[in-house]
Amino acid sequence: METPLTNISDDHILGLLNQSNTFEKGFRVLMQKYQEKLYWHIRRMVMDHEDANDVIQNCFIKVYKSIHRFERKSKLYTWLYRIATNEAITHLNKQKKKATASIDDEESGISHRLEADTYFDGDEAQLQLQRALDTLPDKQKLVFNLRYFDEMSYKEMAEVLDTSVGALKASYHHAVKKIEQYIRAL
Amino acid sequence: MLKFNKPMKNKDDIQKEIEELSPFLKKMKKEKEGFEVPANYFRQLPDLIMDRIQEEEAQSDSSAPTTNWLDQIIERIQILLQPQYAMALASTAILIVASLFLFQQDPSLAGESTLAEVSDEEINAYVMSKAEEFELDLLIDVIDEKALEEEIENEPSYDENYLDNIIDDLSDKELEELM
């Protein structure tokens, strides 16, 4: 019986990646194990599928090129999250520059983007939550997503975001309060 | 949507935390967030990424030099040091150095080769057409000294007999007019 991908250990994947004859196999296993988690993490940041698809591909290409530099100082998945987060933030910054240059601000608005996205079929409550999240600064939104949706421990979040546990706790608490206030005010 | 295989304690802690912070948001939390992906997206994604990696590698292989820039320079110098190229290179270098040396010593030589290409007839025609504009000294310089000497030598000598003969040839009337 085949081992489920989620049960394949990171040590085993890194062992495959360590040898040239098993490198591609190891990289495919790594993608299969983490692609969904990283995709949803990116999707929550960039919102629409087409953008998330571009970012996840760029993210894995970066991983492919730099996996030999992974020194096991952190867990593999926090290292992967870090790359995915950087890629998503880079994408959002580019998007913001485009939106600043664009005359039509309506087009870059979250409601418009989600309505235009074929791959969003959320209900009104989910749309409200996304609107509320869109009012947060990027870093605070990231903290909220990692804790609320990905259910990551503060210690792991600290590794991904290179921020202290105390600062992350404070940021998450603020984000929760802001979101609740925003939705209640609607 | 997949979640990490979290230790139960961590998951419970997170649930407890949101319950305390905002029961409202705890209730809003659903398994489905409203985001979807195309059918078979995750089945095809690894192949898509591997194709892109292979494309990028093929592009960088075709555009990147096989060796680094230093090796390429050394390789070219080694080719130039082969006997057949070295001889040609040395001859060219000698010619260039000699030319530079000559022109530096006598700058007028640079223009002389051009003047030599013009025929004597062309020069004479030009001088005659511009004679009025030239100063006398310049015209004297232009006259070929050797040719002038030859012409003088061939001239009849102005001895007494010669004059007598001319006088003899003249009529009385002509002689009166001349005197």
Tell me the domains of chain A and their CATH numbers: 1-119 (1.10.1740.10), 122-186 (1.10.10.10)
More confident residue, B146 or A32: A32
ipTM for this prediction: 0.86
pLDDT of residue B11: 80
State which residue of chain A sits closest to B54, comparing Cα positions: A61
- Interface probe with B: pick from A87, A171, A180, most Cβ of B within 10 Å: A180
For residue B175, is pLDDT > 60? no
The minimal CB distance from A151 to the residues B14, B30, B45 is found for: B14
User: What confidence tier does B170 reach under pLDDT thresholds 50, 70, 90?
Assistant: low
Facing residue for A43 by CB, picked from B2, B10, B35: B35
Q: Which region holds residue B142: left if phi is over 0, alpha if psi is between -120 and 50, else beta?
A: alpha
Residue of chain A nearest B25, judged by CA positions? A180
Over 70: is that where the pLDDT of B21 sits?
yes
Q: Extract the tokens encoding B23.
A: 């029961």
Inter-chain contact B10–A173, Cβ cutoff 8 Å? Answer: no
Cβ neighbours of A35 in B, within 8 Å: 42, 45-46
Tell me the average pLDDT across A141-166.
94
For A145, A154, A157, B19, the CA distances from A176, given in Å and listed in that order, are 11, 15, 16, 11
Q: For residue A145, what pLDDT is reported?
A: 94
Partners of A173 on chain B (C-beta within 8 Å) are: 21
Provide the 8-state DSSP code for A135: T
